[in-house]
Chain A
Amino acid sequence: MPYDAPDGTYARRTQSGSQDAFEVLVERYEGMVFDLTHQYADQSATAEDLAQDIFLTAYRRIEDLRDPDQFASWLYGIALNRCRDYAKNVRRDTYPFSHTDREDGTVTDAHTVTQDDQLAADEQGARLWNALDELSPTYATPFLLKYRNGLTYKAMSKRLDVSVSALKVRVHRARKKLRTLLEPDHEHA
């Protein structure tokens, strides 16, 4: 089986019990899931645990996936629900500022970006991710694959088994929806 087969091929094999096929799907979507979990968890290690839980849940529920070609958006839905549950359980209320504690928060004083700028950028990023939560998986998945994972529409089309033109429309709709949600922020910026 070629490594670049559509998601549906690997999802069907996973449904038949192949853990190797599932590993391919994990490799494909670990970036997308990590992006999501890092928006909810303060610590990198916690975010990684959360991501692993999401994939384990997906594997255990793989029989529930009626259309294996829809694996990516199905996984995104699981990830979003799991992250929301996590946020509910830890009762986080300092979300935008939690990022200042991250190990990779390198900004201090000597360089071009000040701590205030970094905080503002973190808040802006947090608002964007909150807005992304409002999108349905059908739109959020291709959007994240394009903007976060840097996939071309052609590569995305192969994976998702959706035409390039349809994906472009979905990403554009996601873009417009996000703008509608974030417009007030931009006006105040």
Chain B
Amino acid sequence: MSTPDPDTIVRRFIDGDLSDDEVRAALHRIADDPEARALLQFEVQMTQDLAASGAPDPSPGFAAQTVERLREADATNTASSLQDRLRGWWATLTQPIVTVPVRPAYTLAVLALVAAVASVAWPSGSPVPVASAPERTATPTQPATTAPNAPSQRVWTRFVYTDDDADSVAVAGDFSQWQPVALSPRTVNGKTVWTGLVPVSRGEHEYQFVIDGEKWVTDPLAPVTEDDGFGAKNAVLKL
């Protein structure tokens, strides 16, 4: 049987493929072979370097949060494609079948007619319907209305909480039957900002943030709070 070359001996030694007797013989061979010695020395050095330069472990919920972001993106895409289709249908419906040339004199008459109809439909002092619901600016730790859902009167509300040390942050409120809804971490200006969209029905709601699944905290920027009956404060959200 031929004797393995030093390179193979080193590999088998490192991989633990040798019996006790073979290990003894291998150590003699390695000691006698400068190349094998250098390779083994490199192995030790490299293992130390790798151990010293490794990254911290990912947070426990990393995989779940990543998939959650996928789902959020899918939901947004679905909504966008629906909007695109509706826009397409609307464009088709409103596309003029026959183009009528309008003289300036007729334009003034049409404007006067529109003004008259508008004054009957929406008399002075009544709210005038607008194309989209008002949008609150998202600021850290304050919920922001981002998109209305008129038929069910539910509003997609963005909750934001800044915490560099948390492993997970969720929001829980009466709108979620006080079940924590996980927020996703994002880096904004070097800070870890936890954020997520939650559907909330119109009206008044109370909520708290849940840090690391166990610590309940009041939204520090909530303008209004209420006692939660357990010695802490719920933030109050009015939509």
Q: Please list the residues of chain A having a beta carbon within 8 angstroms of any beta carbon in chain B.
A: 19-20, 22-23, 26-27, 30-31, 34-35, 37-39, 43-49, 51-52, 55-56, 59, 99, 104, 121-122, 124-126, 128-129, 147-148, 153, 168, 172, 175-176, 178-179, 182, 186
Contact = CB atoms under 8 A, between A and B. Distances in A.
Contacts of B59: 48
A50 to B, nearest CB: 10
B99 interface: no
A48 B58 contact: yes
Contacts of A26: 62-63, 66-67
Given A23-B63, A125-B50, A128-B53, A48 B185 contact: yes
Nearest to B164: A45
| Main SS at interface, chain B | helix
Given A35-B54, A148-B50, A148-B54, A43 B187 contact: yes
A124 B49 CA distance: 7
B55 A37 contact: yes
A175 B46 contact: yes
Contacts, number: 112
B190 A128 contact: no
A52 B66 contact: yes
A121 B53 CA distance: 8
Contacts of B50: 125, 128, 147-148
B65 interface: yes
A-B pairs with lowest CB-CB distance, top 7: A125-B53, A38-B55, A26-B63, A45-B187, A27-B63, A172-B11, A34-B55
A40 B87 CA distance: 43
Nearest to A175: B43
A44 B95 CA distance: 53
A175 B42 CA distance: 9
Interface size class of B (residues with CB under 8 A): 35 or more
A23 B185 contact: no
Given A23-B63, A121-B49, A30 B192 contact: no
Nearest to A52: B66
B64 interface: yes
Contacts of B191: 45
A46 B56 contact: no
Contacts of A99: 53
Nearest to B55: A38
A128 B46 contact: yes
B227 interface: no
A30 B67 contact: no
A179 B39 contact: yes
Contacts of B109: none
B74 to A, nearest CB: 8
Contact of A52 (B42, B49, B57, B69): B69
A153 B39 contact: no
B136 interface: no
A46 B67 CA distance: 18
B66 A56 contact: yes
A43 B189 CA distance: 11
Interface string B122-166: 000000000000000000000000000000000000000000100
Contacts of A128: 46, 49-50, 53
Q: Which of B39, B54, B57 is most buried by chain A, counting CB atoms within 10 A of its CB?
A: B54
Contacts of A172: 11, 14-15
8 contacts: A23-B67, A26-B62, A35-B55, A45-B191, A48-B187, A56-B66, A148-B50, A176-B7
B40 to A, nearest CB: 11
B146 to A, nearest CB: 21
A125 B63 contact: no
Contacts of B39: 175-176, 179
A44 to B, nearest CB: 7
Contacts of B70: 19, 22, 56, 59
